[in-house]
Structure 1
Amino acid sequence: MPLTASVLSRQLEELNLLKHSLLPGEEFASLPPTEGPDHWATLLDSYSENAESLDLEEVARTLPPAHLRIQSNGIDIWFEVGLSEDYEGGCAPANAGYSVSVKGETLARREQEAWQAFVKEKMEEFQDSEYPIYELVSTHLLPRLHAEFDSQRNDDASSAPAMSGTDVSSGSSHIRYHALFTSHHLVSPNKRRSLQQWSASLSLTGFAKVGHPGVIYCEGEQAQVEEFVTNVKAMQWLALRMRIIEPLPEDLRESRNEDKEVKRRWSEFEKVGEVVEEMRRLRREKYIVEMGIGSVGINVGAPK
């Protein structure tokens, strides 16, 4: 049965949502047929730029079923997603019509079976979702992929022989920095997931205040904080403002060295009062009080 314009519209809507939810280093690609051009890749690019200009009736007549590949750079495991001609996400009565396979050039059979069991379990959780593929990939598959890769990398690092004759604690890149953002709001699960993953991979300490307004604070080595800031700025925000990015004052660096329990930890808060309390505990209350947080309110700037 060929695609219809209404079904194609639903598929493009979900795939476009998935494509734009990926983190830096994650890739979304259409797997083209054996011969001929990659129609889905072209179509998704056109949909992202100007969906209204597409003649979906005409496109649907000759378009093959979607076959997609989702992967992360440097990780030898990827996901292949296939859509049938009648897949409509949560709009379909039977809510079927898609498949997810876990692949990898060096993936052992037992690992692949464990992954496929995980996929099956999570597919059942999202069977009533409006966007099941998007939910499955962004909420479970990619986070688990990164978690397993980070765990393996840490195991490899801990088992590697120690370097001799090198002082890895010296150099300007090891100066401790901190950064503070405010935004109109922070509610997106994908943004919250991204912040958590970046903080873990970059060994940063900090927190995000979700809801309205949004507040993001992090501390770590200079290079890592600067990379985190770049990643945050690359996302789409309403009224995002960078409040500070600067070296941590010397007296606060010393206090942080004494506070071992909070290193490499990321927290989320829902209330402004919790942000004030956390910054007070860190002896950094002045940074948010000067902005109006915890006193008469917060001015995050006019929406852009």
Structure 2
Amino acid sequence: MCLDSQLQELQLIQHSLLPGESFSFVLPPDDSRIWTSLLHSFNTTPSTIPSLPSPVPQVKFQVKATDARIFFEVQFPERYPEDSDVDIAQVPLVSVNGEGMSRDEHHQWRAFVQERLAEVRGNDYPIYQLLCVHLLPKLHDDGHSIDTGLSESLDIPEQSNNRLPETANYHALLTSHHLVSPTKRRSLQRWSSELSISGFAKVGYPGVIYAQGSQENIQEFVANVKSMQWLALRGWTEFQKVGEVVEEMKRRGKDKYITEMGIGSSALK
């Protein structure tokens, strides 16, 4: 039970990282091979876990952002998350490390981590929430790293356990002056997982967001997007057919973003 839960959270963290962010194990070589094999097996065939040593070594990993001098390391105790609410020894250890960090800077980060740990405690995936909703966005917003994804397409991932229903046929297309903020981009990824939708976002200037899923979930997604603070959000349109999305993107001169994501490519040939 603990191992499955840990692998689920590691998978969620790994799949939620943005361009320029990385996940890696911080373990002795043999232990690292064990956890790499476990996570690979869980990503491909979750019901099949390879033969394991007893006990399985505790996992320790780090998450970094490109060009950031500050990074985060996390160690899961053996029985996390099963006993973390009642046993302080089973609460994950989260450290903030970095080259040239002053004493005051380190103290401020540690205080921020402890505050957010208390806030996310009790969630299904507290360390995912801590890293991807709080720590990494703060790292970017404070200017500790350079965003390298401005000219790249950003997938809104379709989680393996949240696949798009075959009957879903509702679509939404939004454009804005820009889509740069790591916090907004991470919110798009989180909502896509929570609402079982798929799509993409083109980051930089201009910003383009496309999503598809059930009508109820798309409407909630659009409401979430509109509730964020935007500069010149130029509106949104809902479509019933992918062909309508293709034509709209062609009209806007953005059809290459559709073909690059493999959406409606045959209609553009």
TM-score after normalising by structure 2 = 0.58
Label 1:104 to 1:218 Cα distance change in 2 as closer, same or farther (>3 A): closer
In structure 2, the partner of 1:199 is 180
Q: Does the 8 A contact of 1:77 with 1:102 survive in 2?
A: yes
The structural deviation recorded for 1:121 is: 0.7
Rounded Cα–Cα distance in structure 2 between residues aligned with 1:213 and 1:35: 38
Q: Does the 8 A contact of 2:197 with 2:212 survive in 1?
A: no
Label 1:213 to 1:66 Cα distance change in 2 as closer, same or farther (>3 A): closer
In structure 2, the partner of 1:40 is 35
SS of corresponding position for 2:143: helix
Instruction: Count how many residue pairs are aligned between Structure 1 and Structure 2.
Output: 201
SS of corresponding position for 1:32: coil
In structure 2, the partner of 1:298 is 239
- Candidates 14, 19, 22, aligned match of 1:24: 19
Label 1:9 to 1:107 Cα distance change in 2 as closer, same or farther (>3 A): same
- Candidates 101, 111, 116, aligned match of 1:122: 116
The structural deviation recorded for 1:12 is: 0.7
Q: Does the 8 A contact of 2:116 with 2:134 survive in 1?
A: yes
Cα distance per residue 1:91-123 (max 9 Å; x no partner): 854474311000012222211111011000111
- Candidates 51, 58, 61, aligned match of 1:65: 58
SS of corresponding position for 1:149: coil
Rounded Cα–Cα distance in structure 2 between residues aligned with 1:129 and 1:271: 21
Structure 2 unaligned regions, length at least 5: 147-168, 183-187, 214-220, 244-262, 264-269
SS of corresponding position for 1:270: helix
In structure 1, the partner of 2:76 is 83
Superposed counterparts of 1:230-249, under 5 Å: 238=212
Rounded Cα–Cα distance in structure 1 between residues aligned with 2:201 and 2:130: 29
Q: Does the 8 A contact of 2:70 with 2:99 survive in 1?
A: yes
Cα distance per residue 1:65-116 (max 9 Å; x no partner): 0001011111111000001111126885447431100001222221111101
Structure 1 unaligned regions, length at least 5: 1-5, 154-182, 187-194, 202-206, 240-267
> Which of the two has greater helix per residue?
1
The structural deviation recorded for 1:33 is: 1.8
- Structure (1 or 2) with the larger CA radius of gyration: 1
- Residue 97 in 1 paired to residue 69 in 2? no
Cα distance per residue 1:192-238 (max 9 Å; x no partner): xxx9x95237xxxxx9x998999999897xxx44xx66xx78xxx64
Q: Percent identity?
A: 28
The structural deviation recorded for 1:25 is: 1.2
Superposed counterparts of 1:136-151, under 5 Å: 136-149=130-143
Counterpart amino acid of residue 8 in structure 1: L
Counterpart amino acid of residue 15 in structure 1: L
Q: Does the 8 A contact of 1:185 with 1:214 survive in 2?
A: no
Counterpart amino acid of residue 138 in structure 2: R
Q: Does the 8 A contact of 1:213 with 1:300 survive in 2?
A: no
Label 1:185 to 1:40 Cα distance change in 2 as closer, same or farther (>3 A): farther
TM-score after normalising by structure 1 = 0.52
Rounded Cα–Cα distance in structure 2 between residues aligned with 1:18 and 1:217: 19
Rounded Cα–Cα distance in structure 2 between residues aligned with 1:38 and 1:219: 35
